[in-house]
């Protein structure tokens, strides 16, 4: 079968099976392209038409195995391939951490403008998982020092694999820490995508999410347990002139009620996504004082 025909057929099967797309793509066709291109090692910069050719029997067999696992077991494609894309970079990706998908990628490629005007000296990726946010920051800001912190030892192993993948051992370190507890010093930029899914929402998530570590999703009863703790602690760890960029998903109302504060700065995204706010030092101090 021709590669192009295989992709079209697979997209139809994905759509008919009602798979959930949202771990790197947002529709069945892109999901089919991701699976086929990723499995065959094709160049994503070239179109399907440009790479069209007859599939070898061994390739077709391998693709069928992956497609079955995607449809029957609902394993997200990034886990099947062991790799994911974030902010234009490739990362190792497996069940030790969530699949990268934060809209913060767009802020990183844009250099966090207009909030930041230069290279932040010290950057913290808090709740780093496999390290995609902090590593993409390190690649965007070549003179910054970056700390990747997470409570999960296995997520940090994956983060170290990704540091090595990008050759960043000199500037990027990992720390195991419950939020800021084991971290030293101040940071000029803190970027965090903590767990923020409420218990009720967790119950309703599509089956694909069950393959991800619950520690990366579970934000407590209302979804804001970790986010609220993080906001209370960050005031003492952000340097003057610094920014905290925090993803909180759809818990904006919950958060604003918790802090009796409605003036969070919610950021807008050109390529989709929402639920990310930016806080500077004085705003954090105000929140911590409640």
Residues near ligand SAM (CB under 6 A): 97-98, 100, 102, 127-129, 132-133, 150-152, 155, 178-179, 193-195, 215-216, 226
Report the 10 Å Cβ neighbour count for 203.
Answer: 8
* Choice between 6 and 209, CB closer to ligand SAM: 209
> How far is the C-alpha of 75 from the C-alpha of 197, rounded, in Å?
20
Smallest separation, CB 61 to ligand SAM (Å):
32
Residue carrying structure tokens 């983060």: 159
* Choice between 14 and 91, CB closer to ligand SAM: 91
Residue number, nearest CB to ligand SAM: 129
Strand partners, 82: none
Residue partners of 22: CB distance under 8 A and separation at least 6: 101, 206, 208
Tokens of 106: 């767009």
Smallest separation, CB 106 to ligand SAM (Å):
13
Smallest separation, CB 268 to ligand SAM (Å):
19
* Choice between 59 and 161, CB closer to ligand SAM: 161
Smallest separation, CB 97 to ligand SAM (Å):
5
Smallest separation, CB 140 to ligand SAM (Å):
15
Query: Residue 110: is the preceding peptide bond cis (ω within 30°)?
Result: no
* Choice between 151 and 173, CB closer to ligand SAM: 151
* Choice between 33 and 84, CB closer to ligand SAM: 84
Any alpha helices (H) in 55-166, and if so which ranges? 57-72, 77-81, 104-109, 132-140, 153-165
> How far is the C-alpha of 271 from the C-alpha of 264, rounded, in Å?
21
> Which of these, 199, 15, 34, lies nearest to 101 by C-alpha position?
34
């Amino acid at each position: 079968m021709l590669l192009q025909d295989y992709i079209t057929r697979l997209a139809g099967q994905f759509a008919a099976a009602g798979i959930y797309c949202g771990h790197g793509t947002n529709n069945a066709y892109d999901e089919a392209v991701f699976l086929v291109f990723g499995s065959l090692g094709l160049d994503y910069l070239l179109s399907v038409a440009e790479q069209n050719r007859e599939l070898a029997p061994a390739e077709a067999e391998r693709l069928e195995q992956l497609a079955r696992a995607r449809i029957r077991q609902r394993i997200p494609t990034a886990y099947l391939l062991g790799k994911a894309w974030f902010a234009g970079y490739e990362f190792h990706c497996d069940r030790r951490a969530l699949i990268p998908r934060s809209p913060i990628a767009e802020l990183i490629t844009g250099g966090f403008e207009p909030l930041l005007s230069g290279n932040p000296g010290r950057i913290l990726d808090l709740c780093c998982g496999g390290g995609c946010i902090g590593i993409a920051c390190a690649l965007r800001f070549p003179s910054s020092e970056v700390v990747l912190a997470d409570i999960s030892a296995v997520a940090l192993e994956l983060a170290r694999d990704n540091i090595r993948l990008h050759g960043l051992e000199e500037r990027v370190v990992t720390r195991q820490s419950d939020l800021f507890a084991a971290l030293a010093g101040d940071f000029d930029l803190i970027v965090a995508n903590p767990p923020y899914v409420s218990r009720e929402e967790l119950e309703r998530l599509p089956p694909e999410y069950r393959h991800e570590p619950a520690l990366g999703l579970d934000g407590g009863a209302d979804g804001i347990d970790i986010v609220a703790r993080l906001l209370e602690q960050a005031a003492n760890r952000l340097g003057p002139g610094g920014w905290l960029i925090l993803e909180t998903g759809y818990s904006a109302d919950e958060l604003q009620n918790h802090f009796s504060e409605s003036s969070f700065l919610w950021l807008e995204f050109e390529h989709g996504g929402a639920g990310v706010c930016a806080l500077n030092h004085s705003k954090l101090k105000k929140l911590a004082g409640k």
